[in-house]
Amino acid sequence: MAEEPNHNSIDFSGAGPTGEQARLATAVENAAEAIIITDFDGIIQYVNPAFESIAGYPRSEIIDRHISLLDSGKQGPAFFQDMWQTLREGEVWKGHFVNKKKDGSLYETEATISPVRGQDGAITNFVSVQRDVTHEVELQKQLRQAQKMEAIGTLAGGIAHDFNNLLMGIQGNVSLSISEPDITAPLLENLQKIEQYVQDGVKLTKQLLGFARGGKYEVHLTDLNQLLEDQSLLFSRANKHISFEMNYAASLWSVEADKGQLEQVILNLYMNALQAMPREGTLTVRTANVTIDKDRFQPYRVKAGRYVKFTITDTGIGMDEKTQHRIFDPFFTTREKGRGTGLGLASVYGIVKNHDGYIDVSSSEGQGTSFEVYFPATDKVVAPQDKSGESPAGAVETVLLVDDEEMIIDVGTRMLTRLGYEVLTAANGVEAVETYRANQDRIDFVLLDMVMPKVGGGEVFDRIRAINPAVKVILCSGYSIDGQATDILKRGCNAFIQKPFNLKSLSNQIRAVLDEP
């Protein structure tokens, strides 16, 4: 190959091409993998069409250029020194490249480079066969991210559950103290402040539960167009420096979702846009019916099928790639200390995942940010009606209170007694079943904790339902309505109440259940 090389054929023999060599050249030309041939010094002498397609360089621009033209800077000098030493010692080198295309973008390949020897045994060329694995690497990154978020979500859910139990103890005692007839004004003011702090804690745990796996509350048929319209109207009134552009799809499919949590998703995405546009800007909201394919969404464990998509795009400062990789991490924030918990987008991610949906983000510095959110569509057209319980206290029914936390048993007993109920208690699942069996004729309803050791709330419900199929049960938990609670409700459990609750909400829920026909 000392003469001017023929870049459309491969011939290391110095003789004219034989039939076998022609077949080899044809195979190389049609190979799916990128094939590069260099001389001993790394000067490119041949590339096949697959290389041209992957790297974006036509042959005319790459031939007689040094192979370092593809260097992205992601691998240091030591990496290449080791590679060249291996090759020049006559060994085959295998490894991973992060290369740079003609347009400056990066691509990744798995490469095998082999020395080619002349008739005298000396190395004359190197042949590199490279498989483009850019898409595979991206899918692996997405899968690792999804697994990480799922693990963190499980941890967040456990923390929120325990914290809600603590808040339940505080809220219960505050509610009891506020209901005392002879309470003084200064004490009442202090207790109301404590109650407000409890509610602040509840908001925090709701965000944690929103992020956590299995954080849905009350699922109803929802019109996303109407929900976005309502939230946009409220948000635009308070942020007049931002222009809103709406593009709602006609005949948008419905979704089954927790309306409150969807409002939280929209509000958090709006707040993220507001942070990116502190002075002025445009917020564009679009909706669409879409059908997604399995291959694209496989790393996110999203099922193929019909989805409702809404897109929120701002014209703000945008994000760099590093920030985009972390925006859904809990407690990550680019805001100043004290101006955010870093749970907003984390809870968005969790809520969307818990609704079997998917969220994607695209952004560039100085070019704004766009969030695409997908929720599974449903064929249902009529939403179930909510039942609201108006509930004066003073009932005379008997309740079986079941909880493994002594603090909850204590405050729960006093709250139920204050409401006029006779209270029986059980500190675990086995005791609950035995107590119900012995007192089923006098027990009007059961207030049942969902998460207990050994025998959980679901199994307790099934056992007492076997004793009395008509038993009325209110499920309560520091968790939200996740898959387990929803399953129990579908099996006939009457209602769910979220810890922490006050006297009024507890009374309302009980009366709504007891007054059912």
Decide if 438 contacts 465 (C-beta within 8 A): no
**Cα separations in angstroms, 21 against 16, 24, 117, 122:** 9, 5, 16, 21
**pLDDT at residue 434, as a whole number:** 93
Summarize pLDDT for 137-189 with one digit per residue, the tens: 887 777 666 666 666 666 666 677 677 777 777 887 888 887 777 878 878 78
Decide if 374 contacts 302 (C-beta within 8 A): yes
Q: Where would I find the H helices in 179-293?
A: 185-211, 224-238, 259-276
Residue at token pair 């973008």 = 105
Question: Does residue 398 surpass a pLDDT of 50?
Answer: yes
Query: If you average pLDDT over residues 468-494, what whole number do you get?
Result: 82
**Cα separations in angstroms, 190 against 174, 183, 193, 196:** 10, 11, 5, 10
Summarize pLDDT for 25-73 with one digit per residue, the tens: 888 888 999 999 999 999 999 999 999 999 999 999 999 999 999 999 9
Query: Distance (Å, rounded) from C-alpha 16 to C-alpha 19?
Result: 10
The amino acid sitting at 56 is G
CA dihedral 406, 409, 412, 418 (to 10 degrees): -110
Across 147-151, 339-343, 455-459, least confident range: 339-343
Grade residue 343 by pLDDT with cuts at 50, 70 and 90: low
Query: Distance (Å, rounded) from C-alpha 109 to C-alpha 135?
Result: 10
220 by DSSP, 3-state: which? strand
Half-sphere exposure of 350 (CA within 13 A, CB side): 35
Q: What percent of the chain has pLDDT over 70?
A: 81
pTM for the full predicted model: 0.45
**Of 312 and 170, the one with more pLDDT:** 312
Bridge partners for 377 per DSSP: 255
**pLDDT at residue 252, as a whole number:** 92
Query: Distance (Å, rounded) from C-alpha 364 to C-alpha 276?
Result: 12
Query: Distance (Å, rounded) from C-alpha 77 to C-alpha 52?
Result: 26
